[in-house]
Amino acid sequence: AQSVTQLDSQVPVFEEAPVELRCNYSSSVSVYLFWYVQYPNQGLQLLLKYLSGSTLVKGINGFEAEFNKSQTSFHLRKPSVHISDTAEYFCAVSENSGYALNFGKGTSLLVTP
């Protein structure tokens, strides 16, 4: 069975500072990894995904994530955040690249001036 752990429930950060949102997973098989973002009163939007190939994945809005198989991690990073990045961020894992996503509990990113 898979599980996803997002170690931080809330991450406060100042505008233009770098940020890292942590995600660890466990699975007995190869997995596909995703980060989704949820802005207030909106649905989940795909930020980036790792299916195979390069372990450094670039997504939308300047975010990137690195798949580390030995550490079973898929941390999300951005070198300089904006106020508009304030949102809930969800890490998810799947044994298929599509359905039955298993989500983490989410990390609330709060960017302040």
Partner 1 sequence: EPEVTQTPSHQVTQMGQEVILRCVPISNHLYFYWYRQILGQKVEFLVSFYNNEISEKSEIFDDQFSVERPDGSNFTLKIRSTKLEDSAMYFCASSEDHNSPLHFGNGTRLTVT
DSSP3 helix / strand / coil % (the chain, rounded to 5): 5, 50, 45
Nearer to partner 1, 1 or 113 (CB): 1
> What is the Cβ-side half-sphere exposure of residue 53, based on CA atoms within 13 angstroms?
5
Nearer to partner 1, 38 or 86 (CB): 38
Nearer to partner 1, 32 or 77 (CB): 32
Q: Which of residues 28-47 bind partner 1 (CB under 8 A)?
A: 34, 36, 41-46
Radius of gyration of the chain (CA): 13
Q: Which of residues 41-80 bind partner 1 (CB under 8 A)?
A: 41-46, 49, 51
Sign (positive or negative) of CA dihedral 112, 85, 62, 35? positive
Nearer to partner 1, 28 or 70 (CB): 28
99 contacts partner 1 (rule: CB under 8 A) = yes
Rounded CA separation 16/19 (Å): 9
Q: Provide, rounded to whole angstroms, the least separation between the CB of residue 83 and partner 1.
A: 22
Max distance between CA atoms of the chain, in angstroms, equals: 43
Residues making contact with partner 1 (CB under 8 A): 34, 36, 41-46, 49, 51, 90, 92, 96-106
